[in-house]
Amino acid sequence: MIEYALWFAFTCFGIGQLFCLFRLVFAPGVGDRVLALDTMAINMIALIALFGILHDTTMYFEIMMLFAMVGFVSTVAYAKFLLRGDVIE
């Protein structure tokens, strides 16, 4: 039963990732691109977690943690750049 649920979640997040990619390429504004990139990082964390369950290994935690931190910092840096024209003043 878990396996079916696992593949269902894989499919959902994969399609979500495609939606984000679409929005990243065809975006009406810069803010949407930043948001799409942030969502892609978040969805990627979910995909890695699912991959960890599938392979029954605890090896991927550090990767998820790094994705979360780098995604957050890069999004804030992009937004800060749009807002002020500079990242660190």
Partner 1 sequence: MEQIGEILISALLVLGGLFGLVGSYGLVKLPDQMTRLHAPTKAATLGVGGVLIASLMWFAFFGEAPSWHELLITLFLFLTAPITGMMISKANMHLTWEPDELPHCGPDMQWATYGDSAERSLMDGETSQDQRDHRE
82 is a site residue for partner 1 (CB under 8 A): yes
In the region spanning residues 8 to 47, those forming contacts with partner 1, defined by CB under 8 A, are 8-13, 15-17, 19-20, 22-23, 28-32, 34-36, 38-39, 42-43, 45-46
Give min distance, CB of 11 to partner 1, in A. Answer: 7
Other C-beta atoms closer than 10 Å to the C-beta of 65 total: 11
State both tokens at 40. Answer: 């892609």
Task: Spell out the alpha helix ranges (H) of 1-89.
Answer: 2-25, 30-55, 61-84
Count of alpha carbons within 13 angstroms of residue 28, beta-carbon side: 0
**Phi and psi, residue 56, nearest 5°:** 55, 50
| Residue type (1 letter), 3 | E
70 is a site residue for partner 1 (CB under 8 A): no
Q: Which residues of the shown chain bind partner 1 in the complex (CB under 8 A)?
A: 1-2, 4-6, 8-13, 15-17, 19-20, 22-23, 28-32, 34-36, 38-39, 42-43, 45-46, 49-50, 52-53, 56, 58, 61, 64-65, 68-69, 72, 75-76, 79-80, 82-86
